[in-house]
Structure 1
């Protein structure tokens, strides 16, 4: 059997998601050679290249494209640069994987999709949560009818108020149209899209109750209506730690996924009798214990991941096999369309307009 050649990858943007997700994943993939990294801060690019034993480092994409023979450009920069960098990379003949959100708006998304189609190049979107092992398992369980008929979803994305973008007024996300929510809505939106069809936001409520003027709002609630059910999304900036929870409701069983801890348990059909509560608590506790042990073992063996490895591997294989990327540009655009509608409802409320 003929071995497929490794694809040379150049990564743009050496921030947190690159250092802790994309680069470690790419270094594990045999079909990829991470040839170079690029960052507007050349010192950062040089430091990252040295730390991860990467040959090339640059301060601009144009310089990297000129000097390197690349097959793929992996874009990990803030979203206001995604469209221009993706178009530049595709015009140079490179396939592109771009972090979520794929662009600032649907107009930019359309430009990227058109370029990809015209040039015959792959354009993939970094909705890594859809490739999280627990999400893949949950999708299979729903598809196979394990929970009965799907009744709806509840998604909670709770952000640590003491660190990260929430606490840092200088973080780039606060300059986006929609502020931090433009950057944090893609994961819950993409999860809702994975289970429900033809979604539209039917209710959006946000509230501002702290003096953190860099936040457009402190908490956000969204109700999405689909052809086969509803999803509620909560994004809160006032929690003591980051928590991502997905509850899937079915007519026979419910699924509860704690994505940070990589633990899932099921709530079965009602049982009546004196021992039913004890039995259900024991059953759920056993599932949590088993899931925790499995996650701990995978973490120790460095096999635990939040979907980036599967995302990058799938994108590389889509190029080698000429198949669809794991997350298509059209899916990324639909996420952007929904986020635009949600943000417009927030920013049209005069209570939350920036001064």
Structure 2
């Protein structure tokens, strides 16, 4: 393909306006040719702000009328699967925002549609495109850590419950803090681990702070209709013997919000945020931190968009594979099932 990639956007709300619309507008190899949103006022503002004339309230009409090469799906989670599958069936490449789907059954249908169509399907796990995460992957690939056997993941906000959109409605989103926020850190951790297969998940969850009015740095939220979790604690076992402990919360009483992935290996350990490597050598305990990271000022959203557009143009590859996104969905689903049953869930 030598011409610009013709791209449409399904869902022109917060994530589209904050990331995908500006990143695609600035990409010289892409052309935004169509927008779709069920809310006419939101659609009009996005179309006016980003100078896109073709506007639809039905994504099927956009797919059928705009001769699209690619589409970015930025809808609430319950529309991810149908919008993605419909695009793939029409021969359109897809970048779908995270999470993959509401549950593994939907995710499996999306993967099957991609395999049948032969088109590209990837997902918006943009943490993989952060300079620190890419640098951490280079450290892991070098073998400096030895055999990684223990992983700790933290995705914790002191008080940051989303106060817009449909985030607090389980029937629309499939879950709360974990499916919205925790999946980013979980996905990146799995990528750094080499995506081993999870075999057992144990988890508990809480709605203690989300279901009553309280201090929230992101404004007032709809606590009366809060049907998701605000906190999750989980333990995951993998077939290669590695274990993972995970903590995730939209709102929890800690001194400050924090995000981190920690990998412990037989030769060294690695912390991702901020990046450091911890070792025992020369009869000393040492910690090294980088003075400079390649592409330190790189915007993850722009890097993700460029990778997707380039892959569509050239038939190249992307870092986030559908099978990897499906494992994230399976693990999160197992967390919810374990929390509900009070028992470990086998995968």
Would you say same fold, with TM above 0.5?
Answer: yes
**Matching of residue 246 in structure 1 with residue 269 in structure 2:** no
Report the CA distance shift for 1:50/1:186 in structure 2 as closer, same or farther (over 3 A): same
CA deviation vs aligned residue, 1:246-283 (integer Å, no higher than 9, x gap): 1122233222222xxxx41222326668xx7xxx68x6
CA shift for structure 1 position 81? 0.5
Deviation (angstroms), 1:170 = 5.8
CA shift, 1:40, in A, is 1.0
Q: Does 1:314 align with 2:314?
A: no
Kept in 2: contact 1:35–1:55 (CA 8 A): yes
1:191 shift after superposition: 2.1
Among 119, 129, 132, which residue is 1:131 paired with? 129
Q: Residues of 2 paired with 1:50 and 1:241: CA distance? A: 39
The verdict on how the C-alpha distance between 1:113 and 1:219 changes in structure 2, with shifts beyond 3 A counting, is: closer
1:224 to 210, 223, 236: 236
Instruction: Kindly report the root-mean-square deviation, in angstroms, between the aligned alpha carbons of the 2 structures.
Output: 2.9
Partner of 1:301: none
- What CA distance in whole angstroms lies between the structure 2 residues aligned with 1:160 and 1:206? 16
The answer on whether the counterparts of 2:35 and 2:55 sit within 8 Å (CA) in structure 1 is: yes
Deviations 1:143-184 (A, max 9, x none): 1112233232111001252x442x569635544443443323
Report if aligned partners of 1:207, 1:219 keep a CA contact under 8 Å in 2.
yes
Cα deviation for residue 328 of structure 1 reads 1.8
Distance 1:202 1:47, change over 3 A: closer
Where does residue 335 of structure 1 map in the other structure? 328
**Which residue matches 1:86?**
84
Change (3 A) 1:61 1:211: closer
Q: Which runs of 5+ in 1 are unaligned?
A: 299-303, 351-355
Aligned counterparts, 1:47-86, within 5 A: 47-86=45-84
Structure 2 residue 164 is the aligned partner of structure 1 residue 171:
no
TM-score by length of 2: 0.82
Q: How far apart are 1:92 and its partner, in Å?
A: 2.8
TM-score w.r.t. length of structure 1: 0.80
Q: Evaluate the alpha carbon distance shift between residue 217 and residue 322 of structure 1 in structure 2; reply closer, same or farther with a 3 A threshold.
A: closer
Structure number having the greater helix percentage: 1
CA distance in 2, matches of 1:222, 1:157: 12
In the superposition, relative to structure 1, how do residues 24 and 269 fare at CA in structure 2: closer, same or farther (>3 Å)?
farther
8 Å contact kept, 1:11–1:37:
yes
2:229 corresponds to 1:233: no
Distance 1:95 1:89, change over 3 A: same
Structure 2: how far apart are the matches of 1:13 and 1:232? 34
CA distance change for structure 1 residues 191 and 35 in 2, over 3 Å: closer, same or farther? same
**How many residues were matched structurally?**
324
Which of 187, 192, 211 in structure 1 is aligned with 2:184?
187
Deviation, 1:238, is: 2.3
Structure 2 residues without counterparts, runs of 5 or longer: 213-225
Over 3 Å counting, the alpha-carbon distance change for 1:192 and 1:331 in structure 2 is same
Is the 1:9–1:73 Cα contact (8 Å) retained in structure 2?
A: yes
Greater Cα offset, 263-272 or 122-131: 263-272
